[in-house]
Amino acid sequence: MKILSGIQPSGQLHIGNYFGAMKTMISHMEDSDLYVFIVDLHALTSVHDRQKLAIGTLEAAADFLALGLDPDKCTFWVQSDVPEVCELAWILSTLTPMGLMERCHSYKDKVAKGIDASHGLFSYPVLMAADILLYQADRVPVGKDQKQHLEVARDIAQKFNTTFGETFVIPEPAISETTAIVPGLDGQKMSKSYGNTIPIFLEGKPLKKKVMAIETDATPVEDPKDPDSCNLFSIFKLFASPERLEEVRNLYLGGGAAYGYIKLELLDLISDYFAEARKKKAEYLADPAMLRFILHKGADKAREKAAVTLDLVRERVGLKY
Ligand code: ADP
Ligand code: TRP
């Protein structure tokens, strides 16, 4: 089974990215043919700062490796190091219906948030379809917000197959229901572009500042509260042991849950959860040559696979004369 997913290096990765996507990706290392890549070409739709993109790419690589991704047990690379993806994106775009693209809410959401309405931002899902189809992925683990993009990739693959003959595997989305959407400090979806994140590798005072800033309601401590509609509880749930979670749930329901104390407990839980990875990340970042070596080796591996699909596609559409 080929499992593939990518992540944008457009800002510090946060616990929503970790629980919504990265953790599942890493867990597939042992049981599948895993493809993980850093989508710098996609990030270019929102980041126009050379330094920020280049450093963000290396940081995202260090994040994955520190969190346990083993490059020898998967194919791990940076999207732009495999230029074949751009050729496939163009070919796919020639059969992507405009209506399909116009229905994508991610474009409208991003423009509403102030990202420039560029053509790249609009055609983002076609490049994403190319990412997936180029490697003939069977399953794509992503957060719920990417579901529509997956449907676009499937539609494009089906259209290609009916137009030019069976060529692409139709990819299945794999969306974890338990951690489908991790809320941010303000209760909206945690997202780099909403400025409401808890970055994975934050520690000390800056981490404390974030955790204490998780928005809660003004219900007095002794009153009963609904844990399932509480933003703090949703984040707590990701880190606490099942036993502790049950205790805190009962405090919510029966009265006695003090938000301030729960936040301090959460702070320690987050700190401990990522302690080992934090150390490893620092080691990787101290050796950027090593990081580049790992990524280039991964790109060579990915290019070999990409070349096989692209060769078939070129033949199918008549680009081989
Ligand atoms: P962001 O919204 O912070 O820019 P991305 O769009 O780069 O994050 O998402 C990277 C991956 O992480 C995607 O698979 C996405 O679905 C997942 N993801 C992002 N935010 C969350 C969240 N709050 N909860 C669950 N998954 C998320
Ligand atoms: N669009 C995805 C996101 O913002 C990132 C992405 C690009 C991706 N190409 C992909 C995810 C291919 C899975 C498969 O999160």
Residue 64 lies inside a defined structural domain of this protein = yes
Identified catalytic residue from 2, 108, 144, 192 = 192
Distance of alpha carbon 256 from alpha carbon 250, whole angstroms: 9
Full-model pTM: 0.92
- Clarify whether residues 214 and 293 are in a common domain: no
CATH assignment at residue 104: 3.40.50.620
In a domain, 193, yes or no: no
Identify whether residues 110 and 250 lie together within a single domain.
Answer: no
The answer as to whether 155 is a domain residue is yes
* 113 is an active site residue: no
Query: Would you say residue 97 lies in a domain?
Result: yes
Over the chain (321 residues), what is each successive 10-residue block's mean pLDDT?
A: 94 90 89 97 95 96 97 98 98 97 93 91 97 97 88 98 98 79 92 90 96 92 90 95 96 91 97 96 96 98 98 98 94
| Per-residue pLDDT, 206 | 97
Instruction: Indicate the DSSP class of residue 191.
Output: -
Closest ligand 2 atom to 131 CA: 12
Classify residue 197: in a domain, yes or no. Answer: no
Domain limits at 135?
2-181+287-317
Minimal-distance CA residue to ligand 1 atom 8 = 191
Residue 11: per-residue pLDDT = 82
**Tens digit of each residue's pLDDT (9 = 90 or more) over 208-229:** 999 999 999 888 888 888 999 9
Q: Is ligand 2 within 6 A of the CB of residue 179?
A: no
Q: In whole angstroms, how far apart are CA 94 and each of 85, 88, 148, 158?
A: 15, 10, 20, 14
- Structural domains of the chain, count: 2
Active site includes 281? no
Query: Cβ-count burial of 266 within 10 angstroms (0-12 exposed, 13-18 middle, 19+ buried)?
Result: buried
Nearest CA to ligand 2 atom 8: 6
Whether 190 is covered by a domain: the verdict is no
Q: How do residues 126-144 score in pLDDT, each as one tens digit? A: 999 999 999 999 999 887 8
Give the CA count within 13 Å in the CB-facing half-sphere of 154. 13
Pocket of ligand 2 contains residue 191 by CB under 6 Å: no
| C-alpha torsion angle, residues 72, 32, 158, 87 (rounded to 10) | 0
* Nearest listed ligand to the Cα of residue 192: 1
CA of 158 relative to ligand 1 center, distance in Å:
26
Mind listing the pLDDT tens digit for each residue in 156-175?
999 999 999 999 999 999 88
- CB of 89 within 6 A of ligand 2: the answer is no
Question: Is 279 assigned a catalytic role?
Answer: no
Domain match, 100 and 9 both: yes
CATH value at residue 218 = 1.10.240.10
Residue 302 CA, ligand 1 centroid: distance in Å = 24
pLDDT value of position 193: 76
Question: Cα angle at 275 between 269 and 281, to 5 degrees?
Answer: 140
Residue 300 and residue 260 share a domain: no
How many Å apart are CA 269 and CA 239, to the nearest integer?
6
